[in-house]
Structure 1
Amino acid sequence: MPDLTRPEPYILWLTGAGVLIALAVWLPLALRRLPLSFPIICIGLGAAIFSIPGVDLVPLPIRYPAITERFTEFVVIIALMGAGLKIDRVFNWRRWNVTWRLIGIAMPLSIAAITAIGGLLLGLPWVSALLLGAALAPTDPVLASDVQVGPPKSGEEDEVRFGLTSEAGLNDGLAFPFVNLAIGIGLAAGTGKPWFADWILHDVLWEIGIAIAAGWIIGKLFGWLTFHVPTESSLARTGDGLTAIAATFVSYGLTEVANCYGFLAVFVTALTLRHAHRDHDFHHDMHDITEQIERLAMMVLLVLMGGALMTGLLSPLEWVDVVAAGAIILLVRPVAGWTALWRFHGDRSEKLVLAFFGIRGVGSFYYLAYALNHLPLAEGERLWAIVGLVALFSVLLHGLTVTPAMRALDRGQGRDPDAAGGSKV
Structure 2
Amino acid sequence: MHDVLPFGLLIGLVALAVLAAVLSNRVSERSRIPAPVIFLVAAAAASDLVPALGDALSVTAIQRVVTVALIVILFDGGMNIGRRRLRTAAGAIVWIGVAGTFVTAAAVALAAHALFGLDWTTALLLGAALAPTDPAVVFSVLGRKEITGRSGVILEGESGANDPVGIALMVALLAAAGTTGFGAVTAGALEFTLQMGIGGTVGLAGGALLAVFIRRVPLPSAALYPLRTLASAFVIYGAATVAHGSGFLAVFVAGIMIGDLPAPYKGDTRRVLASLASLAEIVAFTALGLTVTLATLPDGHAWQIGLALAVLLAVVIRPVLVGLLMARVRLSRGERVFVLWSGLKGAVPILLGTFILTSGRADTLRIYDIIFVVVAFSVLVQGGLVPAVARWCGVPMRTMPPEPWSLGVRLRHEPDNVHRYRVTPAAPADGARIADLDLPDTVWISLISRNGHLLPLNGEAVLRAGDDVTALVAPDDTADARAVFTTPTPT
Question: TM-score w.r.t. structure 2 length?
Answer: 0.72
Other-structure match for 1:215: 203
Q: How far apart, CA to CA, are the structure 1 residues paired with 2:170 and 2:343?
A: 19
Q: Which amino acid counterpart does residue 285 of structure 1 have in structure 2?
A: D
Q: How far apart, CA to CA, are the structure 1 residues paired with 2:381 and 2:312?
A: 13
Aligned partners of 1:40 and 1:395 also within 8 Å: yes
Q: Which amino acid counterpart does residue 277 of structure 2 have in structure 1?
A: E
1:175 equivalenced with 2:134 (yes/no): no
Other-structure match for 1:292: 275
1:79: Cα distance to partner?
Answer: 0.8
Other-structure match for 1:59: 54
Other-structure match for 1:46: 43
Other-structure match for 1:15: 12
Q: How far apart, CA to CA, are the structure 1 residues paired with 2:300 and 2:320?
A: 25
Flag the 1:113–1:19 CA change in 2: closer, same or farther, 3 A: same
Q: How far apart, CA to CA, are the structure 1 residues paired with 2:220 and 2:250?
A: 21
Flag the 1:300–1:204 CA change in 2: closer, same or farther, 3 A: closer
Q: How far apart, CA to CA, are the structure 2 residues paired with 1:74 and 1:40?
A: 20
Flag the 1:12–1:350 CA change in 2: closer, same or farther, 3 A: same
Other-structure match for 1:241: 226
Flag the 1:369–1:412 CA change in 2: closer, same or farther, 3 A: closer
SS state at 2:295 partner: coil
Aligned partners of 2:79 and 2:255 also within 8 Å: yes
1:383 equivalenced with 2:374 (yes/no): no
Other-structure match for 2:350: 365
Q: How far apart, CA to CA, are the structure 2 residues paired with 1:58 and 1:333?
A: 36
1:28 equivalenced with 2:25 (yes/no): yes
1:59: Cα distance to partner?
Answer: 2.4
1:84: Cα distance to partner?
Answer: 0.5
Q: How far apart, CA to CA, are the structure 1 residues paired with 2:378 and 2:76?
A: 22
1:359: Cα distance to partner?
Answer: 1.4
Could you list the per-position Cα deviations for residues 339-366 of structure 1 after superposition, in whole angstroms to 9, with x for gaps in the alignment? Answer: 2221322111100111111111211122
Q: How far apart, CA to CA, are the structure 1 residues paired with 2:251 and 2:265?
A: 19
Counting only pairs closer than 5 Å after superposition, residues 15-414 of structure 1 correspond to structure 2 as: 15-29=12-26, 31-32=28-29, 34-46=31-43, 49-50=46-47, 55-57=50-52, 59=54, 64-90=58-84, 95-140=89-134, 143-146=137-140, 157-189=148-180, 194-200=183-189, 202-227=190-215, 229=216, 233=218, 238=223, 240-277=225-262, 280=263, 282-306=265-289, 311-312=294-295, 314-318=297-301, 319-373=304-358, 375-406=359-390, 413=396
Q: Unmatched 5+ residue regions in structure 1?
A: none
SS state at 1:240 partner: helix
Flag the 1:160–1:34 CA change in 2: closer, same or farther, 3 A: farther
1:85: Cα distance to partner?
Answer: 0.9
* Percentage of matched positions with identical amino acids: 22
1:196: Cα distance to partner?
Answer: 3.3
Q: Unmatched 5+ residue regions in structure 2?
A: 403-421, 426-464, 466-491
Other-structure match for 2:399: 417
SS state at 1:31 partner: helix
Q: Which amino acid counterpart does residue 199 of structure 2 have in structure 1?
A: A
Aligned length: 405
1:255: Cα distance to partner?
Answer: 0.7
1:321: Cα distance to partner?
Answer: 4.2
Question: TM-score w.r.t. structure 1 length?
Answer: 0.83
Q: Which amino acid counterpart does residue 204 of structure 2 have in structure 1?
A: W
Aligned partners of 1:33 and 1:403 also within 8 Å: no
The structure that has the greater radius of gyration is 2
RCO greater where, 1 or 2, for CA within 8 Å and sep 6 or more? 1
Q: Which amino acid counterpart does residue 115 of structure 2 have in structure 1?
A: L
Flag the 1:159–1:299 CA change in 2: closer, same or farther, 3 A: same
Flag the 1:294–1:104 CA change in 2: closer, same or farther, 3 A: closer
Q: How far apart, CA to CA, are the structure 1 residues paired with 2:392 and 2:220?
A: 41
1:64: Cα distance to partner?
Answer: 2.7
Deviates more, 1:313-322 or 1:375-384: 313-322
Q: How far apart, CA to CA, are the structure 2 residues paired with 1:313 and 1:240?
A: 47
Q: How far apart, CA to CA, are the structure 1 residues paired with 2:151 and 2:366?
A: 34
Q: How far apart, CA to CA, are the structure 1 residues paired with 2:191 and 2:45?
A: 42
SS state at 1:343 partner: coil
Q: How far apart, CA to CA, are the structure 1 residues paired with 2:74 and 2:345?
A: 15
Q: How far apart, CA to CA, are the structure 1 residues paired with 2:325 and 2:192?
A: 22
Tell me how large the CA RMSD over aligned residues is. Answer: 3.5
Q: How far apart, CA to CA, are the structure 2 residues paired with 1:220 and 1:313?
A: 48
